[in-house]
Amino acid sequence: MRMILVLSIFLAAVQAQASPTDDAWFQKTTQALYDAVAPGDAKVWDQALADDCIYTSEDGDVQTKAELLKAFGPLPKGFSGGIKLRDLTVRYAGDAAVVHYWNDEWEDVFGQHLKTTYVSTDTWRRTAGGWKMFATQTTVVPRDLDPVAVDPKDYAPLIGEYKLSPETKSSYLVFLKDGQLFGGRDQKSATRLIPLSPRVYFQAGSIHTMIFVAGGDGAITEVREIHKYNELAYRRLPGAAH
């Protein structure tokens, strides 16, 4: 009974922090931070970040507040862009707040238009000077890459069955379906292999890039799966075609 009472008091204290005013402040302040990225306005970030803030970028770079502010600057000539926040939520725990949201970024690079979506989590704490961010981390949201035109006749040499080892039961099957190349453990679960070049393909619905490798005679001998900066080689079984 006492445990329930303590928990009820704790939850009431947490909920008391979750005011609509604070929610609106986090929405406005976080958007202002990203609006300052393109012009390189470091002052906005300087005001929001705690001195001991840890910043982790989408590329895995970890920086202190001083390192982050030092790297600030406007986009170079020929570049333009912006970031729009959406679906921001705030969770409170006493004098701490966890802010979670998605960022839709657009960027023009010498006439080439790029679109990227990120998901971010910021941790704030309430200080005598107001809310200060003391940790933030951003991750890129994967998407299927755009295809590059490839002659369909280049698909035929890739078709076959590949295995990590002769001892494994599972295989990686490469086959044609409706004139397009597919790959997967079986034909039911396989997804499209999106061409990036005649021998490099992106596995639809994943973060995998598949690279087909030829031997000295020009015949395909294996497919290498590039996944999270690691590489797995699947050897092609002789005479196996699908």
Percent of the chain with pLDDT over 70: 90
pLDDT digits (tens, 9 = 90+) for 129-180: 899 999 999 999 999 999 999 999 999 999 999 999 988 888 999 999 999 9
Mean of pLDDT values over 7-13 = 43
Q: For the chain, where are the E strands, in sequence order?
A: 49-56, 62-64, 79-93, 96-109, 112-127, 130-140, 160-163, 172-177, 180-184, 191-197, 200-203, 209-214, 220-227, 230-236
Query: Which pLDDT belongs to residue 167?
Result: 86
Does the domain made of 2-140 have the CATH classification 3.10.450.50? Answer: yes
Query: Which pLDDT belongs to residue 5?
Result: 43
Gap between the Cα atoms of 72 and 37, Å rounded? 8
pLDDT digits (tens, 9 = 90+) for 14-26: 444 556 678 999 9
Query: Which pLDDT belongs to residue 18?
Result: 52
Adjacency order of strands within the sheet including 79-93: 62-64, 49-56, 130-140, 112-127, 96-109, 79-93
pTM (whole model) above 0.75 = yes
> What integer best gives the mean pLDDT of the chain?
90
Gap between the Cα atoms of 125 and 93, Å rounded? 10
Gap between the Cα atoms of 8 and 11, Å rounded? 5
Gap between the Cα atoms of 197 and 212, Å rounded? 10
Query: Which fold, 152-236?
Result: Lipocalin (2.40.128)
Query: Which pLDDT belongs to residue 240?
Result: 53
Query: Which pLDDT belongs to residue 15?
Result: 45
Gap between the Cα atoms of 189 and 55, Å rounded? 39
Domain with CATH 3.10.450.50 in the chain: 2-140
pLDDT digits (tens, 9 = 90+) for 32-46: 999 999 999 999 999
Residue 7 has pLDDT above 60, yes or no: no
pLDDT digits (tens, 9 = 90+) for 83-121: 999 999 999 999 999 999 999 999 999 999 999 999 999
Gap between the Cα atoms of 237 and 144, Å rounded? 28
Residue pair 21/105 in contact by the 8 Å Cβ criterion: no
Q: Say which residue, 139 or 3, is predicted with more confidence.
A: 139
